[in-house]
């Protein structure tokens, strides 16, 4: 429910409301300012309301350019999260929505860029028309000002041969505008989920065009092509008194209004907006270099089926929590690339580990490098860990965990940690029973996860706790030959496809049946439902939680938690 969401995400809601509010305020305030302020009376005589559209969107572009770097200062955010360890965990967790906010700001930049560019195309058109007009209108007269005195101009176009292309590629605002718009388009289009998952390098390198973006942004307004009337000129020849005299001026004019108005440029101010965040970001990058120089020892290398590489590592002072991730760099492969990986070890283990599957050039090269088993291991650098622990899992007597596709990875850490806590009779662990649902097209790249489940299952059986964990694998991309094979071997204790004791199910889970079964088995429990997977699945699970929660306060309740790994 909305109320429930607000209680848990009040900080995110407040940030969002403030951000939207400031955008609306800046746009409205500056739109009205440039649409009505009398210093721009003459500018509007040429440009009309396109002036206000261009200037208001420019303010919002500056504001959002100021914000875009803040959510990606991951070391600074992580430090911030550390300092507020006394504050509620819901607040710490909300700092993990940093990338969602980063994307939101980026969409705003794209929108305001479109508005700003279209407005300026209209402005160019109008500047050009006024420059070529010979009808003696106010706009035409204002456009000829530069002939009397070369630095008293209002219209930046001084020749009749000018085209939009000419202005776009020969003036500073035109050229930088084209460059930063291209940079923005490339950055947005190369950061889709698909490209990040499959061609991370493309995303990584294209995203560094942000350096070009900020350099261009700072230079963009320097030429000051849009001008307004100077303060002194306003006092001498105020447009409300004197505008009409411009149109009908005689040679031997004696009136106080006969003096021509004078104009000056709007000073460039983007640098003021972005200076502080850029300095913070430089500091962030220095921190990253410093943290990465601390030595990482690779203690174990395991090659799993389907080209999955497991690296077990140790690093002085490295403390992880469940559900966190690290950034990894391998200088032998690329000095510049840092790739994020979910930690698959439990905090209780004396190492930290990641599993790398082949997806893109870098991952394939790191897998090959470690496969060759040279006498000396390639050096690995690690930055992190980042993200807030997913400790909510430990708070429920009964937990339903759902991992879909690549989203199964964080559950390696969670399941191991729950088992360690359970064995050590840890007081923080409330969990008595886990239901684990694993959905994937085929288990190929996740054979390692199979092995992990099998070994957990074995350990539990040996301790006489076989019923602590119930899990099912749903193969959503199965073909008929497997299904027929499975039908033949259906009576064996372990399963044909995965070699696991619990049956593999072909097709998608029937959530209604699953929730009913859990509700029957635990009529008085509070059940935590956790998902790491796609948004569509989240909606289904949320609906099921609603439907199967009893209205009677003493009976079963399902709570849905979407984890952002």
pLDDT digits (tens, 9 = 90+) for 61-79: 999 999 999 999 999 988 8
Among the listed residues 464, 463, 357, 454, the one whose alpha carbon sits nearest the alpha carbon of residue 415: 454
CA dist., res. 445 & res. 197, Å (int): 14
What residues form DSSP beta bridges with 531? 402, 562
Q: Considering only 330-344, 432-446, 476-490, which range has the smallest mean pLDDT?
A: 476-490
User: How far out from the chain centre does Cα 471 lie?
Assistant: 33
Give the mean pLDDT of the chain. 89
Would you state the pLDDT for residue 86?
A: 61
| Helical (H) or strand (E) element with 130 | helix 98-132
**Tokens linked to 443:** 């288990």
Matching residue, tokens 């076989």: 466
pLDDT in tens, 406-426: 888 999 999 999 999 988 888
CA 296 to chain centre: 28
CA distance 515 to 550: 12
* pLDDT tens by residue, 456-481: 988 888 988 888 999 888 988 765 55
* pLDDT tens, residue by residue, 472-530: 889 887 655 555 555 555 555 455 555 565 667 888 899 999 999 999 999 999 999 99
Task: Decide if 418 contacts 393 (C-beta within 8 A).
Answer: yes
Task: Say if CB 234 and CB 38 are below 8 A apart.
Answer: yes
Q: Which residue has the higher pLDDT, 253 or 99?
A: 99
Judge contact between 201 and 362, C-beta under 8 A: yes
Sequence-separated (6 or more) residues with CB below 8 Å from residue 331: 378, 379, 381
Structure tokens that stand for 212 in this block: 């070009």
Left, alpha or beta for 376 (phi > 0: left; psi -120 to 50: alpha)? beta
CA diameter of the chain: 111
The tokens for 260 are 């021509």
Contacts of 332 by beta carbon, 8 Å cutoff, 6+ apart: 369, 378, 379
Degrees (nearest 5) of the Cα angle 251, 252, 255? 110
pLDDT > 90: percent of the chain? 63
pLDDT in tens, 177-188: 999 999 999 999
**pLDDT category of residue 329 using cuts at 50, 70 and 90:** very high
Q: Which range, of 84-88, 184-188, 349-353, 516-520, averages the lowest pLDDT?
A: 84-88
Give CA angle at 317 (316, 322), nearest 5°: 115
Whole-prediction pTM: 0.86
- 446: helix, coil or strand? helix
Whether a cis peptide bond, with omega within 30° of 0, leads into 231 is no
Give the pairing of strands 296-304 and 263-265. Answer: unpaired
Please give the full DSSP string across 528-550, using - where no structure is assigned: EEEEES-HHHHHHHHHHHHHHS-
Confidence of residue 442 (pLDDT cuts 50, 70, 90): confident
Residue with the larger pLDDT of the pair 242 and 466: 242
- Rounded Cα distance between 562 and 128, Å, is 55
457-464, Cβ contacts within 8 angstroms, sequence gap of 24 or more: 457/500, 457/501, 459/419, 460/419, 463/423
Q: Is the pLDDT of residue 443 over 80?
A: no
- Contact between 287 and 356 under an 8 Å Cβ cutoff? The reply is no
Dist. CA 283–CA 285, nearest whole Å: 5
- Nearest Cα neighbor of 78 from 329, 300, 386, 328 is 386
pLDDT at 389 over 90: no
Q: Are 495 and 504 in contact (CB under 8 A)?
A: yes
The answer on pLDDT for 4 being more than 90 is no
Ranges of H-type helices in 251-360: 270-292
Helix axes 200-207, 361-371, angle to 10 degrees: 120
**pLDDT of 565 above 70:** no
| pLDDT number for residue 167 | 86
Per the listing, tokens 């303060």 go with 231
Which has the higher per-residue pLDDT, 361 or 80? 361
State the Cα–Cα distance between residues 496 and 489, nearest whole angstrom.
Answer: 7
Per-residue pLDDT band at 388 (split at 50, 70, 90): confident
Domains of the chain: 22-171+225-288 (no CATH), 294-386 (2.40.30.10), 389-478+500-562 (3.40.50.80)
C-beta of residue 527 within 8 angstroms of C-beta of residue 539: no
């Amino acid at each position: 429910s909305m109320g429930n969401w607000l209680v848990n995400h009040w900080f995110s809601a407040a940030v969002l409301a403030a951000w939207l509010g400031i955008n609306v305020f800046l746009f409205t305030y500056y739109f009205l300012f440039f649409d009505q302020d009398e210093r721009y009376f003459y500018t509007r005589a040429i440009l009309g309301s396109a002036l206000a559209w261009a200037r208001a969107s420019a303010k919002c572009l500056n504001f959002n350019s100021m914000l875009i770097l803040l959510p990606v200062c991951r070391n600074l955010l992580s430090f911030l999260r550390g300092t507020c360890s006394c504050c509620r965990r819901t607040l710490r967790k909300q700092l993990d929505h940093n990338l969602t906010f980063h994307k939101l700001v980026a969409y705003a930049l794209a929108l305001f860029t479109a508005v700003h560019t279209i407005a300026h195309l209209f402005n160019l058109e109008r500047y050009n028309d006024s420059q070529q007009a010979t009808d003696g209108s106010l706009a035409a007269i204002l456009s000829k000002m530069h002939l009397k005195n070369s630095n008293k101009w209002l219209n930046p176009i001084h020749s009749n041969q000018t085209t939009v292309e000419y202005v776009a590629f020969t003036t500073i605002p035109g050229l930088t505008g084209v460059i930063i718009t291209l940079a923005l388009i490339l950055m947005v289009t190369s950061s889709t989920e698909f490209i990040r998952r499959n061609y991370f390098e493309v995303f990584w390198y294209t995203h560094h065009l942000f350096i070009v973006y900020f350099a261009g942004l700072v230079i963009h307004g320097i030429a000051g092509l849009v001008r307004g009337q100077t303060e002194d000129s306003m006092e001498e020849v105020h447009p409300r008194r004197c505008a009409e005299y411009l149109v009908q001026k005689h040679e031997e004019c004696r009136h106080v209004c006969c003096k021509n108005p004078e104009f000056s440029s709007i000073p460039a101010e983007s640098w003021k907006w972005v200076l502080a965040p850029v300095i913070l970001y430089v500091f962030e990058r220095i921190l990253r270099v410093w943290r990465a120089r601390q030595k990482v020892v690779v203690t174990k290398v395991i090659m799993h089926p389907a080209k999955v590489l497991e690296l077990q590592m140790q690093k002085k002072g490295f403390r992880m929590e469940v559900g966190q991730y690290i950034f990894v760099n391998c200088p032998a492969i690329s000095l510049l690339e840092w790739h994020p990986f979910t930690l698959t070890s439990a905090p209780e283990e004396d190492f930290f580990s990641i599993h790398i599957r082949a997806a893109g050039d870098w991952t394939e090269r790191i897998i090959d490098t470690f496969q060759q088993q040279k006498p000396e291991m390639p050096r690995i650098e690690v930055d992190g860990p980042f993200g807030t622990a997913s400790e909510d899992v430990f708070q429920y007597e009964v937990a339903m965990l759902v991992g879909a596709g690549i989203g199964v990875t964080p559950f390696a850490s969670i399941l191991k940690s729950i088992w360690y806590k359970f064995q050590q009779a840890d007081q923080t662990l409330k969990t008595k029973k886990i239901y684990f649902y694993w959905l994937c097209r085929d288990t190929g790249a996740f054979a390692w996860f199979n092995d992990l489940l099998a070994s957990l299952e074995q350990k539990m059986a040996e301790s006489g706790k076989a019923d602590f964990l119930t899990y099912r694998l749903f193969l959503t991309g199965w073909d008929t030959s497997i299904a027929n094979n499975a039908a033949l071997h259906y009576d064996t204790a372990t399963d044909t496809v995965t070699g696991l004791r619990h049956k593999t199910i072909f097709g998608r889970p029937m959530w209604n049946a699953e929730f009913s079964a859990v509700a029957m088995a635990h009529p008085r429990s509070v059940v935590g439902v956790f998902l790491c997977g796609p948004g569509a699945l989240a909606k289904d699970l949320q609906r099921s939680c609603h439907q199967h929660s009893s209205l009677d306060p003493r009976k079963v309740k399902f709570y849905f938690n979407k984890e952002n790994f």
